[in-house]
Chain A
């Protein structure tokens, strides 16, 4: 029996012939709420695609209990839903339940109940019968989270689900995910270019930069010294009005983890 939901060991990944990640290792404990943080282009999507089995690894291993189609749930970054696409929110969740199966979709009480329960769990009852293309970005995210969870996966992977959402929607999605991780024991890995909307909720941070990664509790990782070593140049981690601000000092600046260089502008 595997102790970790997922264990990544010395993983090398490339995309279009360019190496994106070189020697990344981390582990995710079952039921933990984990953030995959990094700027655009740092390899978040590439790593998620490899964890899903959509992209082969150049080297290194991905192991753990949460492997294979039955164990994985996926929320893609962006789905273009035409306003007239003839799919209701409820139909999208039902496709998560048995959309891979062949044969006519005969009415099934089990599917109907599971879909209804998932729609309720993500707070989507009010718009379950509307077309997918009619919904706001935050509502669509809730539907795709329900779609990914309806088969009861062990690991839920979400690719930038908070991008392009307003603040109330972000808070709503984060609280839904946190509650689901706590109540149903699903391991959640959520990627984001900004750590702030997540940092209060995260059990674990995997921070990607320069082809490498550091992982640990948020207070272990989000430190000037740790991130400076990862980036290879000086990084300040500042706390301003309760928000974390991660500031690169420039490629040429030597690593000086002791003192943030803050000047107050009047």
Chain B
């Protein structure tokens, strides 16, 4: 254990910390894959709108006494498939639909969270839903989180190539005999899974940071699609686990006023994005022949 001796005593033995580490890792991996595809499709804003509808779902689940994960997932799926049913003639209309969806999601979240707070039953619900609850996850959360992760990884393994081709231009996939519509549904499902698990870690509002941050940093470090996804997953994992450790340690640094995990994770994601591309981007630039 000398390798891990820098960790605080009892860190890895704590049940909440273990659940946080597993959930954070799953969120990092799904978000990395879904995030890189979302960037190629130019749909970062739609991804963000999805997180706000997801917040409304999570809030509704808490209101009815269910676990927030199911609510986050249901909200993200409803939001995603809702946006999908609006037939778009131009790409520019997508931002319009996403913007309206975002407003609707936050508005409904405000309504439901207001109800929860005014009923006096759970005053912490707004912070939990919007900004995460990584250290207070119930023991039963590991199984559903792992299933979400497994489904996303299987979808990615099955559909990577047509997802990339459709992201480049849906007509190219149609001409080669594939179905861009199916790929949109697969992408939306992966996005919903990523948003739902990330919402548990950093909260619904900040799950965009997990989705877009590591993926954006990775696209500046690698030009290959597979490597970019792997790199984004590693960056997300480091930010997730590092953020958990940082938040845990911050009890000692701040006289008991610990920094929230979501702040720590997002701070690491932003720091990586600012520091890594200028340092390593040049080194990793592909060799050019001739």
Which stretch in A82-90, A163-171, A207-215, A245-253 binds the other chain?
A: A82-90
Q: Are B36 and A86 in contact (CB under 8 A)?
A: yes
Within 8 A of A (CB), among B147-167: 157-162, 164-165
Q: Are A103 and B219 in contact (CB under 8 A)?
A: no
Q: Does A142 contact B (CB under 8 A)?
A: no
Nearest B-chain residue to A88, judged by Cβ: B223
Q: Are A99 and B176 in contact (CB under 8 A)?
A: yes
Q: Are B219 and A100 in contact (CB under 8 A)?
A: no
Would A130 and B169 be within 8 Å (CB), given that A91-B225, A100-B177, A102-B158 are in contact? no
Q: Does B270 contact A (CB under 8 A)?
A: no
Question: How near does chain B come to A95, taking the closest CB pair, in angstroms?
Answer: 5
Q: Are B289 and A126 in contact (CB under 8 A)?
A: yes
Q: Does A54 contact B (CB under 8 A)?
A: yes
Q: Does B173 contact A (CB under 8 A)?
A: yes
Q: Does B114 contact A (CB under 8 A)?
A: no
The residue that A80 contacts in the complex, of B36, B42, B224, with Cβ under 8 A, is B42
Nearest B-chain residue to A85, judged by Cβ: B40
Q: Are A99 and B164 in contact (CB under 8 A)?
A: yes
- Scoring B36, B218, B219 by chain A CB atoms within 10 A of each residue's CB, the highest score goes to B219
Question: How near does chain A come to B216, taking the closest CB pair, in angstroms?
Answer: 8
Chain A residues with Cβ below 8 Å from B257 are none
Question: How near does chain A come to B60, taking the closest CB pair, in angstroms?
Answer: 35
Q: Does B228 contact A (CB under 8 A)?
A: yes
A53 to B177, CA, bound (A): 10
Q: Does A197 contact B (CB under 8 A)?
A: no
Question: How near does chain B come to A153, taking the closest CB pair, in angstroms?
Answer: 9
Chain A residues with Cβ below 8 Å from B164 are 87, 91, 95, 99
Would A86 and B174 be within 8 Å (CB), given that A92-B168, A100-B165 are in contact? no
Q: Are A79 and B175 in contact (CB under 8 A)?
A: no
The residue that A86 contacts in the complex, of B176, B218, B288, with Cβ under 8 A, is B218
Chain A residues with Cβ below 8 Å from B286 are 88, 129-130
Contacts A52-B171, A99-B172, A99-B173 known; list 5 others, CB within 8 Å. Answer: A73-B175, A80-B42, A88-B224, A99-B162, A99-B165
Question: How near does chain A come to B176, taking the closest CB pair, in angstroms?
Answer: 4
Question: How near does chain A come to B286, taking the closest CB pair, in angstroms?
Answer: 5
Q: Are A74 and B175 in contact (CB under 8 A)?
A: yes
Q: Are A100 and B225 in contact (CB under 8 A)?
A: no
Q: Are B178 and A130 in contact (CB under 8 A)?
A: no
Would A99 and B161 be within 8 Å (CB), given that A82-B42, A86-B40, A129-B286 are in contact? yes
Please report the number of residue pairs spanning A and B whose Cβ atoms sit closer than 8 angstroms. 111
A140 to B31, CA, bound (A): 30
The range of chain A's interface size is 35 or more
Question: How near does chain A come to B260, taking the closest CB pair, in angstroms?
Answer: 30
Chain B residues with Cβ below 8 Å from A125 are 289-290
Q: Are B220 and A84 in contact (CB under 8 A)?
A: yes
Chain A residues with Cβ below 8 Å from B168 are 79, 81, 87, 92, 95
Q: Are B172 and A86 in contact (CB under 8 A)?
A: no
Q: Does A72 contact B (CB under 8 A)?
A: yes
- Type the 1/0 row for B203-223, where 1 means its CB is closer than 8 Å to any CB of A: 000000000000010111011
Q: Are A129 and B159 in contact (CB under 8 A)?
A: no
The residue that B290 contacts in the complex, of A86, A99, A126, with Cβ under 8 A, is A126
Question: How near does chain A come to B113, taking the closest CB pair, in angstroms?
Answer: 36
A105 to B163, CA, bound (A): 12
The residue that A76 contacts in the complex, of B169, B177, B225, with Cβ under 8 A, is B169
Nearest A-chain residue to B231, judged by Cβ: A86
Q: Are B171 and A74 in contact (CB under 8 A)?
A: yes
Would A103 and B165 be within 8 Å (CB), given that A54-B175, A74-B171, A86-B225 are in contact? no
A88 to B220, CA, bound (A): 13
Q: Does B90 contact A (CB under 8 A)?
A: no
Q: Does A241 contact B (CB under 8 A)?
A: no
Q: Are B158 and A129 in contact (CB under 8 A)?
A: no
A129 to B36, CA, bound (A): 19
Chain A residues with Cβ below 8 Å from B219 are 84-86
A96 to B175, CA, bound (A): 10
Chain B residues with Cβ below 8 Å from A44 are none
- Type the 1/0 row for A122-162, where 1 means its CB is closer than 8 Å to any CB of B: 00011111110000000000000001000100000000000
Chain B residues with Cβ below 8 Å from A52 are 171, 174-175
Chain A residues with Cβ below 8 Å from B222 are 86
A167 to B229, CA, bound (A): 39
